[in-house]
Amino acid sequence: MKPWSTPGGQRVLVIAPHPDDEACGCGGALLRHLTAGDAVTLLYVTDGRGSRALGLAPDAMAARRQAEAAACAAVLGVSDWQWLGLPEWAWEIETLASRLLAALEGVQPDVIYAPSRVDFHPEHWKVAHALAAALAQWPGAPRVRAMALQVPLGASLTNVVCSTSSVQAQQQAAAIAAHASQAYSTARTQRMRRYTAAAYGLPGEAEAFWDMSAARYQRLHAAAPSTWPAVFRSLRAMPWTDGLAYLWGWRERRALRKEHEGTRHDN
């Protein structure tokens, strides 16, 4: 495991399957990127209309979540954010792969923050697969950092930890709070960041990432999501069950780690 760092002057692309994944998955890291002078682009894939929070109808929820995304980007200080607005649960992988390829060509990122197969959410899986398809068509060679989105990466896969104690704690909390309609789920990710900090002896909160080459990410996610083992559990509303999210899927995490270590020349 190595601490998070940036040389500055990098181009960073964040691929958020839903509005709130950017703040919960890598919000602290983004604040550190911006402080170091890196250029950050946020890409919101779906419109989040599938959320049943607040009793809103799908169209109203989609509008609400777009407004929350805009508020979060403003709090983070990110002016370059793009709303793809694909209708949640009703989009095709080929459509997104084409849009992601255009984003890669436009941004030319040095670092990509993205979802991975270490997850439970079908849409997170689809986005990861679509990104792999786009990377296979693009000649760039960025680092890809898989985010922990409600499912912990665990000690087997975490190889970069970003301490967020040096960024403005109030700013990070405000970015998460901007997604007010999703407060029931964002609270779980805050617990996970506290667990990560405690596991690595860091103060406050920390974010865990699985850093790898674009080629490695592409190969890990090239197969159809329907073939991936559905063995992971998210943190739930009840904190006393959080340990199960770390236990479920540990064999798969170890298998992925062994596969990763077997290709050190392209990690």
In the numeric block, the tokens 């990763």 are attached to 260
Crossing angle of helices 21-35/183-199, nearest 10°?
50
This prediction has a pTM of 0.96
Structure tokens at 80: 């370059």
Residue type at 250 in one-letter notation: W
Span 257-261, average pLDDT: 80
Whether residue 38 contacts residue 12, with contact meaning beta carbons closer than 8 Å, is answered with yes
- pLDDT value at position 31? 95
Contacts (Cβ under 8 Å, ≥6 apart) of 176: 20, 23, 24, 27, 72, 186, 189, 190
pLDDT at residue 264 tops 60: no
Query: Which residues lie below 8 Å from residue 65, measured CB to CB, with a gap of 6+?
Result: 18, 19, 20, 47, 48, 49, 51, 179, 181
Q: Cβ distance 47 to 55 under 8 Å?
A: no
Residue 1 clears pLDDT 90, i.e. is over it: no
Q: What backbone torsions phi and psi does residue 112 show, to the nearest 5 degrees? A: -125, 130
Tens digit of each residue's pLDDT (9 = 90 or more) over 164-210: 877 777 888 899 999 999 998 899 999 999 999 999 999 889 999 99
The average pLDDT across 19-43 equals: 96
Percent of the chain topping pLDDT 90 = 86
Query: pLDDT tens across 145-159, in order?
Result: 999 998 999 999 999
For the chain, percent of residues with pLDDT exceeding 70: 98
3-state SS class at 39: strand
Q: Is a pLDDT exceeding 70 seen at residue 249?
A: yes
pLDDT one-digit tens code per residue, 98-118: 999 999 999 999 999 999 999
Query: Is the pLDDT reported for residue 265 higher than 60?
Result: no
Assign 199 to helix, strand or coil. Answer: helix
Distance CA 21, CA 245 (A): 18
Query: When comparing pLDDT for 119 and 265, which is higher?
Result: 119
- Predicted pLDDT of residue 224: 97
